[in-house]
Chain A
Amino acid sequence: MRKMVFPGDFLADSKMSVRGVYVEDGKSYASQVGLYDSDTGTFIPLEGPYEPQEGDLIIGVVSEVKPNGYRVQTGLPSETFISNKDIRESLSMGDIVVAKVRDVDEVGEITLIDATVLKGGSISQISPVKVPRVIGKKGSMLAQIKATTGSNIVIGKNGWIWIKGGDEYLATKAILKIESEAHTSGLTDKIADFLKKGGRE
């Protein structure tokens, strides 16, 4: 049975080490609003800030050019850094980049590698916990939006989404609709219908 849980709600007698759960006296309790499935023991937070993990692909905007690299804004409390060693092209302020998180240190500061500049386009922001919904199972949702709108879309785990070309307006609208209805079922069909009607309900 899947049910909605709130901070402080008892989840299990065992220790769970997933996001949105804390352990006290060997028992697990929810620390965020989320959906808990007691059969499979999975917890999906419904809301929450981005918590960077090694290997995440994120989108950011260059905010400062330094002698040894670039500072990038990614919506995290601390600014992130790309070293000159890890990037071939030179960036300038305001460039949109997509990069991989190399490591996260103990105070939450991250360094990025494999940065690629995204030329043109625009950024939309959604809640980071809803990103898996926008991508869909094996990328089905994203593929569907790309196919219908003809837009080029790159999704960052930090909830920043870069969209360029095609019907940008419709693509953005569809993504925002997924965000607001992320917790409902049958979303892929609903979005297919939404896209077919050109964004009208």
Chain B
Amino acid sequence: MSEEEYGSGKREDVKLIIDGKRVDGRALDEMRPLKIEAGLLHKAAGSAYVEWGDNKVIAAVYGPRECLPRHDANPYRAKLSVRYLMSPFASKEEHGRSGPNRRSIELSMVLREALENVVLLEHYPNAMIDVFIEVLQASGGTRCASLVAASVALANAGIPMKDLPVAVASGKIENQICLDVGKEEDNFGQADVPIALAPRNKDILLLQMDGLLSKEELFRALDYAEKMAPVIRDAETSALEKAYARAGEE
């Protein structure tokens, strides 16, 4: 979105940190509230709904099923297809028609590549696993919320995975590194660094950088995300556990 639409002039005019607090009252290393629900769609093999701050994302997993088109079938591993779509009503900005666009095709690809590193695709040769992600409401950091939703939905479907991937965006606002950048911070801040990790061995599954950071700042951003990884994983596992409210009582 162009800056003049905000009527606030230049980037520097927007105060993102006031008295050590961010615009929504968070500390620099504080995450927005995260709520996850698993297994809410009955026709899907697995599904998840994620509310992360004002982001609302729903993900559904189908398969493994017959690979279509057939020429995409790989005899060594399953094909993972990820479709990320943002609803036309997802935020204040114009998102146009609801079909895939340049942005959503790119995000589908980066999410797919992140998930391909943890999903044990070689268990299902010649098959296809579909992950559909719908962003119902967007407020900065939808790719991270989408990855969390996809990861819970895949676990809910019982697709074998090496780990439950987690994702969070670090960023830089007013020359300070912060965790989980919100919409205003993304629009008027200096950098946005979405990071996806496999929490067990800290493998980086996704790392993008929009804006400029020094080496030290990037490491600090990674450090913030690594610290938050177990917290997000706990939220994911407790959502899955809730889907089996009475599990393990035997």
Contacts and interface: CB of A to CB of B under 8 A. Distances in A.
Interface of A: 2-4, 6-8, 10, 20, 22, 24, 29, 31-33, 35, 45-49, 51, 77-79, 106-109, 127, 129, 181, 183-185
B46 interface: yes
A77 B66 contact: yes
B157 to A, nearest CB: 7
B164 A108 contact: no
A78 B183 CA distance: 44
Interface string B162-181: 11100000000000000000
B63 interface: yes
Per DSSP, are chain B's interface residues mostly helix, strand or loop, or mixed? loop
A3 B241 CA distance: 11
Interface of B: 45-46, 63-67, 75, 78, 118, 120, 123-128, 155-164, 198-200, 233, 236-237, 240-241, 244, 246-250
A166 to B, nearest CB: 27
A111 to B, nearest CB: 15
Per DSSP, are chain A's interface residues mostly helix, strand or loop, or mixed? loop
B66 A48 contact: no
A48 B158 contact: yes
Contacts of A6: 155, 164, 236-237, 240
A47 B159 CA distance: 8
Nearest to A181: B246
B248 A3 contact: yes
5 contacts: A7-B155, A7-B160, A47-B46, A77-B63, A107-B125
B170 to A, nearest CB: 22
A33 B156 CA distance: 7
Contacts of A108: 124-127
Given A77-B63, A78-B127, A107-B125, A2 B162 contact: no
B160 A48 contact: yes
Given A8-B198, A49-B158, A183-B246, 11 more contacts: A6-B236, A7-B162, A8-B233, A32-B155, A33-B156, A35-B247, A46-B247, A47-B46, A77-B78, A129-B158, A183-B244
Nearest to B156: A47
Contacts of B65: 77
Shortest 7 CB-CB distances between A and B: which pairs?
A48-B158, A47-B158, A77-B127, A8-B163, A31-B160, A185-B250, A7-B161
Contact of A77 (B67, B161, B198): B67
